[in-house]
Structure 1
């Protein structure tokens, strides 16, 4: 049976997050799985404020949010370039739709995904992109299966049809997944050549359907793996990991990790508590 992924890639201090909130991932209805990777649900009831940090994936999210003392809202969150931080306090709930990299464009076919990159756009500003909905219909049910059904209905309900076939979207999703799973992909020129594409065509495809370039995706997945290794292993051989990830040397990995996460990998690993997969 298919199941949502359980790794902690992208979550900074995964053990800390999981000790403060109830976090889980659930699969959408089968008709949506070619485009939607999973739904993610978070509930919290905190005596003290907590700030979560995530190194975002190259994916667009639609996020329904309810924070204590605020009206619930929904927003489109494009691919975020840097570290994403969110302060959580009191009681709250989030229900998110994580699209596969390249999978959002068929739901908004007239807008290149770069339009959303680096942005968080609340639903009322984009009525032509998302069907009208009351965020409370998604956020109110306490039962997670009911919330999953509400998210399915949001994407496939009245006035909304499954996206039309888009070979370019399928290609973009396949290429990004190849980058994610194949460590030997290290250079954009070599990757483009292996796929029978020019570098220019590959870059245009990623811009229109993923929202960031192929080089950015390659680097981001490297950092995700380094972050997870620091979270789950007692002692990381950083020089060897740098070589495994395609870096010229350890210094290049340290530079990219520090620029993305905010601290050097060795310092992060010393502070991290090895955690099981989420």
Structure 2
């Protein structure tokens, strides 16, 4: 399984966020890596509120959170967010999250398709009855990253989780979409994988929570977001073609609908903030 990546794909204005928070990724215990991609830890102590914006990956997250000025620690399950995810950070706080591989949450909740969680953020106890306030507190108040990772490991290892070949297949198919920019049409992709379009769609609904077309488009927006935030010489028409769009206007439309501003405006704002 792949180790945690160090890129900032999906983070809107990553330099703005990383100037304000301590952000780290850690590997889970080896038995968990089949279905858990990485742990992510964030701590902040802010003199003024800050809104972070994320173009989410097609993953379910389990988070243990503590906004110290607002109440006790709590745990939350967040399904794949269809639009921009915004989190307002105030005062002092921290989040200890487990990001499941796309398709990897279903083995922990085999009674429900992944699409049940799509677009939802709900108290984790509604999904995992084992979670209590003490569980959340034990994770977020642990002293240091090593202890927090150990607490996440201990909780996830306590959950029933049987190997699921269909989950393995979904994980691999999403990985191929993410890695291969030539994957543009669902019908062509299904054919190369030896599946019908309907079978591929059913698999993604049950295990990923969104359609294969949505995954293709989301990873292309991630790529455009990364390019807009790191390059000053972008040929938008060429990038649109490279990402499989019919023309530049389609890229601009999808980028604007997802991020909230056109790509040229985002690139200009990012350059101004460097």
Quick one: distance in 2 between partners of 1:275 and 1:202? 42
Name the residue aligned to 1:31. 31
In structure 2, the partner of 1:141 is 142
Corresponding position: 1:122 with 2:120: no
Shift of 1:142: 3.0
1 CA distance for matches of 2:58 and 2:221? 12
In 2, are the aligned partners of 1:39 and 1:96 still within 8 Å (CA)? yes
- d(CA) in 1 for partners of 2:272, 2:219: 20
Per the TM alignment, residue 165 of structure 1 is displaced from its structure 2 partner at its CA by: 1.5
Structure 2 match to 1:166: 164
Contact kept in structure 1, 2:21 and 2:42, CA below 8 Å? yes
Map of 1:101-112 to 2, 5 A cutoff? 101-112=102-113
1:218 counterpart = 2:216 = yes
Q: Are the counterparts in 1 of residues 245 and 251 from structure 2 also a CA contact under 8 Å?
A: yes
- Distance in structure 1 (CA, Å) of the matches to 2:108 and 2:174: 18
Aligned length in residues: 272
How many Å separate the matches in 2 of 1:134 and 1:32? 19
Unpaired segments of 5 or more residues in structure 2? Answer: none
Residue 48 of structure 1 aligns to a residue whose secondary structure is coil
1:96-146 superposed Cα distances (whole Å, 9 cap, x missing partner)? 000000001001111100010000010233344x55552011000231011
Counterpart of 1:85 in structure 2 is: 86
Q: Is the 8 A contact 1:232 1:274 kept in 2?
A: no
Aligned-residue CA RMSD (Å): 1.7
Q: Contact between 1:233 and 1:274, CA under 8 Å: does it hold in 2?
A: no
What is aligned with 1:55?
A: 55
* 3-state SS of 2:195 partner: coil
Relative distance call for 1:142 and 1:231 in structure 2 (3 A) is: farther
Check whether the contact 1:56–1:80 (CA below 8 A) recurs between aligned residues: yes
List, as ranges, runs of 4+ consecutive aligned residues in structure 1 with deviation greater than 3 Å: 130-133, 273-276
The residue aligned with 1:74 is 75
Match of residue 229 from structure 2: 231
**Distance 1:273-1:205 versus aligned 2 partners, 3 A rule:** same
Give the aligned partner of residue 154 of structure 1. 155
Deviations 1:54-95 (A, max 9, x none): 000000000111012211100110000000001101000000
Question: TM-score under structure 1 normalisation?
Answer: 0.94
Deviates more, 1:18-27 or 1:235-244: 235-244
Q: Does the 8 A contact of 1:207 with 1:213 survive in 2?
A: yes
* C-alpha contact (below 8 Å) 1:13/1:231 kept by paired residues: yes
